[in-house]
Amino acid sequence: MRRITVGSLLLSLAACSPNEITPPAVADAAPTDRGALTDASTALDVSTLDAPIAPLDAPLTIDVPVAPTDVPVAPTDAGPTAPTDAGPTAPTDVPVVPTDAPVAPTDAGPVDRPPASLVDALVGTWATRVRGTTVQSAPIIGMVRTSSSAFGLAVITRTPSGELAITERACRVTFDRSTLGQTSLEDRAVQSVAPATAALRFVRVGAAWRWQRPARTLAVGWRPTTSAEEMLPGAASDPRVYDADGDGNPGVSVRIQSGIVNGFVYVVQAQRGALDGDWDASGAPRAVNNPAGSTQRTVGASVRLLETDLPSAVDTSAAANAVTLARLPTGADCAGLIAALPTLFR
């Protein structure tokens, strides 16, 4: 009997032309030990291969004795097996949480809103004092800083959607004395500006929350064609200019009293502002106004000396634009605010 290995058998079969043999018919056989067949060193008795090859129309059969089942199986592991355990197995004696135990809520609250206590502290009617400073360049005198306090009402309410909205109305403006003298503005001129409503939004800055009223521009003494962002009128003849305070003069009348000149200057303004606020240690709201972009033009005057349109700009520093809020009773109006001013902001 001649003995060859499985490897030699496969090479012998591969060397045959496809026209020389046909695939052997697979006979039903008892299960064999595949492990024994995969060992290239296991010898098989293939003496029947010396017999002539059967004709092409006859099935080719090869009697291959089945390897004994007790033949040791060659190891199939080519190396250490990667561990299948990604971590320590949890102990099986861990107590099971009862299914009726309360589950801690996963929702800690809206991520875009501060605690409810801070939001509630904003709702209500407020008297507001907004500080501001204008810098002008006057002939001979040079740079002149004029600071003012704008007093108004701010009513903060909840909308049907649960958000907060603020409605602001101007009531009175007072001016600190400057090197130009004393400036004053009639209440009717201030109150001629229509109330404006906007949504409040909340932002997180580090670990702290802030409330904000986005920037907006109000037209004072003129009616914009498209928006208050358009260029200011430069003369009383501009059809957009109107008598806002009802005194018979264009725009808004501002009184100037000084040792040099006394009279009125008629102006139009684009008042721009944005509120950025937080809460003090007691929980009361406070803010800073950003007046960047505010402009003013002179469209006339009661005396020639005041007709010159002096270049001006606003001081945008936080220190010059503090906003103070004082709570008022619901339904308060400008008359009630003005009456309470001596005790509201001291």
Hey, how many other C-beta atoms are within 10 angstroms of the C-beta on 171?
20
Q: Where would I find the H helices in the chain?
A: 6-15, 34-37, 116-122, 187-190, 334-344
- Angle formed at CA 37 by CA 34 and CA 40, multiple of 5 degrees: 145
Largest CA-CA distance found in the chain, in angstroms, rounded: 138
pLDDT band at 260, cuts 50/70/90? Answer: confident
pLDDT digits (tens, 9 = 90+) for 268-289: 999 999 999 999 988 889 999 9
Does the pTM of the predicted model rise above 0.75? no
Kindly tell me the sign of the dihedral angle through the C-alpha atoms of 320, 326, 332, 335: negative
Q: How far apart are CA 346 and CA 124, in angstroms?
A: 21
**Which residues lie below 8 Å from residue 279, measured CB to CB, with a gap of 6+?**
118, 121, 285, 286
Reply yes or no on whether the pLDDT at 97 is more than 50: no
Question: DSSP class of residue 292?
Answer: T
Q: Which tokens hold the place of 62?
A: 């090869």
Q: How far apart are CA 274 and CA 217, in angstroms?
A: 9
Q: Are strands 196-199 and 164-175 parallel, antiparallel or unpaired?
A: antiparallel
CA of residue 208 relative to chain centroid, distance: 15
pLDDT at 112: 66
When the pLDDT of each residue in the chain is averaged and rounded to a whole number, the result is: 76
Hey, how many other C-beta atoms are within 10 angstroms of the C-beta on 261?
16
pLDDT digits (tens, 9 = 90+) for 110-155: 456 788 888 999 999 999 999 999 988 877 777 888 899 999 999 9
Counting every residue written for the chain, the total comes to: 346
Reply yes or no on whether the pLDDT at 11 is more than 70: no
Can you tell me the mean pLDDT for 18-26? 40
| DSSP annotation string for 266-289 | EEEEEEEEEEEEEE-TTS-EEEEE
Can you tell me the mean pLDDT for 84-104? 44
Reply yes or no on whether the pLDDT at 90 is more than 60: no
Q: How far apart are CA 308 and CA 78, in angstroms?
A: 97
pLDDT at 258: 85
pLDDT at 308: 83
